[in-house]
């Protein structure tokens, strides 16, 4: 199995792996000698689609049957199958019977690739009707819902846990709602059950993912669902830390902000999807807020949790973006002192409002702005890491480096660092007997870019 894209795709791959294992399939590490290669594709932006196509083509060299699933397969269906006859293309509705579909592929039974549909039209809007649709026999499949089985494909102490699928927002640059569907929350009991299962598999840190975690519960009739769920997840035996990813700034209610900032066992970590900070450009993007609103939000969070972590993504070169807009974004990034920032250049996406907008920038100008902001971000995030010198951090240990670096040296990540994207913390003086997934209190004594070096303060405090 090959997985591309985001943590949500990783969860889908583990669910597919569980279903395949239950159907008698054995997962292997190498495509050579395999009967089939399953490629879970990403269809978010142009570069991700290219990576997905490259992965499919690379899999064909193994001699195994190749099956494409995931967002790109769902989004393009028969079109992708026509362009890549070497692969069988399956959609989300095939996930529940993935073992049977793979049987078909291996035995040579022909499968007709689906015609893409706008998945926002497949579910009723009302919470009551949505609840009924989830249990209907002919309801469309929603990846990550109705969890029955999952097989971990990674061995580390952190794991993603899906809160919801789909999105009801209508950002002008984003096609995700069309192929992922409308926003549908998983019932809290289902999320808790999977958290308990993950803990039994040795997971110590849960990373809650969705297209928009701040919307969790709105289709269940309770916008405070996540506020209630977080302390319950943090209390699951074996779980040392819970962090929430994919928060929308305009929907981050004071109550949820307080729970994230001040709940024991919940990382004071704010993964906020700002995308830009120029108010006028954000309106063109069909988003809300601006530099002053966003700075106020960051300061409110820091007032509750002074050492909180902040990450975001920003888009450069959106149609109509001016030099003043870029300067406004620079002001926000400079004053906001965020810990991690992903910088992306705008690209047209089929089916989005932005594709038909006037004011398109030349690719050379987009690339120049991306380089400009990337250089600024690298400088600012390194400075932010230096701000943490002398700070006490709680580091979740992931790998013992004692054999290479000397006794008691581990690498891990502090509460302000996402395990996949925000740098690492190397800890010295870790007591004997420490294990991956334990949390160690340490003091930051050095930095290397966004990475920290820290000295252990006390023995293992939680495992």
The rounded distance, in Å, linking the Cα atoms of 151 and 257 is 32
Which one-letter DSSP state was computed for residue 129? H
- The pLDDT profile of the chain, 463 residues, written as one tens digit per residue, is 999 988 889 999 999 999 999 999 999 988 888 999 999 999 877 777 888 889 998 998 898 999 999 999 999 999 999 999 999 999 999 999 999 999 999 999 988 888 888 888 876 544 444 444 444 334 455 555 555 578 999 889 999 999 999 999 999 999 989 888 999 999 999 999 999 999 999 999 999 999 999 999 999 999 999 999 999 999 999 999 999 999 999 999 999 999 999 999 999 999 999 999 999 999 999 999 999 999 999 999 999 999 999 999 999 999 999 999 999 999 999 999 999 999 999 999 988 999 999 999 999 999 999 999 999 999 999 999 999 999 999 999 999 999 999 999 999 999 999 998 889 999 999 999 899 999 999 999 999 999 999 999 975 555 4
Closest CA to 215 of 189, 191, 183: 183
Q: Are strands 2-3 and 241-244 parallel, antiparallel or unpaired?
A: unpaired
Q: Which residues pair with 160 in a beta bridge?
A: 207
Give how far the C-alpha of residue 265 lies from the chain's centroid of Cα atoms, to the nearest Å. 20
Count of alpha carbons within 13 angstroms of residue 418, beta-carbon side: 22
What pairs with residue 84 in β-bridges? none
Residues 166, 113: Cα–Cα separation, whole Å: 22
Tokens of 361: 């920038």
pTM over 0.85: yes
Instruction: Please tell me the distance from the alpha carbon of residue 138 to that of residue 22, in angstroms, as a whole number.
Output: 23
Cβ atoms 163, 216 nearer than 8 A: yes
Task: Show the beta-strand stretches assigned E in 269-347.
Answer: 269-271, 309-316, 340-345
In 23-92, where does DSSP find H-type helix?
46-60, 71-76, 78-83
* CB 274, CB 294: distance < 8 Å: yes
């Amino acid at each position: 199995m090959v997985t591309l894209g985001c943590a949500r795709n990783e969860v889908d791959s583990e669910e597919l792996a569980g279903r395949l294992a239950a159907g008698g399939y054995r997962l292997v590490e190498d495509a050579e000698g395999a009967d089939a290669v399953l490629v879970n594709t990403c269809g978010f932006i142009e570069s991700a689609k290219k990576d997905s196509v490259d992965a499919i083509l690379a899999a064909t060299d193994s001699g195994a049957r190749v099956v494409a699933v995931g967002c790109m397969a769902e989004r393009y269906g028969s079109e992708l199958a026509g362009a890549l006859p070497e692969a069988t293309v399956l959609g989300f509705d095939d996930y529940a019977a993935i073992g049977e579909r793979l049987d078909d592929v291996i035995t040579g039974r022909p499968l007709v690739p689906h015609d893409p549909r706008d998945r926002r039209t497949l579910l009723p809007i009302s919470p009551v009707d949505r609840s009924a649709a989830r249990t209907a026999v002919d309801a469309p499949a929603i990846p990550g819902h109705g969890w029955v089985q999952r097989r971990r494909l990674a061995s580390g102490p952190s794991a993603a846990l899906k809160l919801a699928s789909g999105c009801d927002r209508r950002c002008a640059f984003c096609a995700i709602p069309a192929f992922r569907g409308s926003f549908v929350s998983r019932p809290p009991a289902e999320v808790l059950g999977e958290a308990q299962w993950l803990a039994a598999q040795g997971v110590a840190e849960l990373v809650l993912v969705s297209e928009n975690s701040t919307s969790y519960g709105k289709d269940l009739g309770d916008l405070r669902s996540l506020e209630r769920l977080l302390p319950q997840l943090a209390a699951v035996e074996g779980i040392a830390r819970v962090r929430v990813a994919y928060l929308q700034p305009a929907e981050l209610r004071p109550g949820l902000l307080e729970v994230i900032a001040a709940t024991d066992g919940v990382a004071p970590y704010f993964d906020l999807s700002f995308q830009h900070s120029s108010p006028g450009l954000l309106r063109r993007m069909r988003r809300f807020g601006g530099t002053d609103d966003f700075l106020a939000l960051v300061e409110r969070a820091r007032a509750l949790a002074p050492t909180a972590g902040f990450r975001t993504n920003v888009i450069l070169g959106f149609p109509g973006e001016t030099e003043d807009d870029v300067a406004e974004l620079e002001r926000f990034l400079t004053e906001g002192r965020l810990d991690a920032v992903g910088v992306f250049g705008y690209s047209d996406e089929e089916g989005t409002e932005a594709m038909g907008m006037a004011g398109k920038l030349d690719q050379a100008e987009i690339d120049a702005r991306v380089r400009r902001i990337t250089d600024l971000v690298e400088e600012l995030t390194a400075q932010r890491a230096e701000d943490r010198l002398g700070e006490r951090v709680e580091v979740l240990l992931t790998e013992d480096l004692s054999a290479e670096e000397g006794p008691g040296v581990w690498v891990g990540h502090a509460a302000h660092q996402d395990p996949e994207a925000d740098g690492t913390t190397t800890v010295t003086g870790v007591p004997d007997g420490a294990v991956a997934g334990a949390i160690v209190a340490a003091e930051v004594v050095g930095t290397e870019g966004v990475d920290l070096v820290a000295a252990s303060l006390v023995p293992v405090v939680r495992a």
